Amino acid sequence: MQAGRRQKELRGRRVLVVEDEVLVALDYCQNLQEAGAEVVGPFHTVDDALNCMGKGRIDVAVLDYALADRNSDDLQNMLESREIPFVVVTACPRVLVRRNDMPNTLCQSVRAACR
């Protein structure tokens, strides 16, 4: 992919990053910024991420499931209630099974989620 094109893919999008592994979070942030996104975070706890939710627009979120303070279920519920798309990236794929009667697409690319 051409560097110039990549920088335009997420231009104008505010992406919330919630990941407690520092190097992983920095990698996400760098890649998102290179794609033109404005990164909100990274946050290492659910509480910190929830506290930022009222402080500006969020277009899409990239979340880990198991965070420093607890799992991200509460944050996922908040994002869903605000109709903000999110991607859960985790080393624990069994937790991605949503237990309700509505089919959900659990993971989408950030770019597709922003459309």
> What confidence score (pLDDT) does residue 103 get?
42
> What confidence score (pLDDT) does residue 114 get?
54
> What confidence score (pLDDT) does residue 95 get?
59
> What confidence score (pLDDT) does residue 17 get?
98
Structural domains of the chain, count = 1
Q: What is the CATH number of the domain that holds 10?
A: 3.40.50.2300
> What confidence score (pLDDT) does residue 113 get?
55
Question: Domain range spanning residue 106?
Answer: 3-114
> What confidence score (pLDDT) does residue 52 get?
92
> What confidence score (pLDDT) does residue 91 get?
80
> What confidence score (pLDDT) does residue 5 get?
53
- Within the chain, which residues score under 50 in pLDDT? 1, 101-109
pLDDT digits (tens, 9 = 90+) for 26-46: 999 999 999 999 999 999 999
The full 3-state SS of the chain, as one line of letters, equals: CCHHHHHHCCCCCEEEEECCCHHHHHHHHHHHHHCCCEEEEEECCHHHHHHHCCCCCCCEEEECCECCCCECHHHHHHHHHCCCCEEECCCCHHHHCCCCCCCCCCCCCHHHHHC
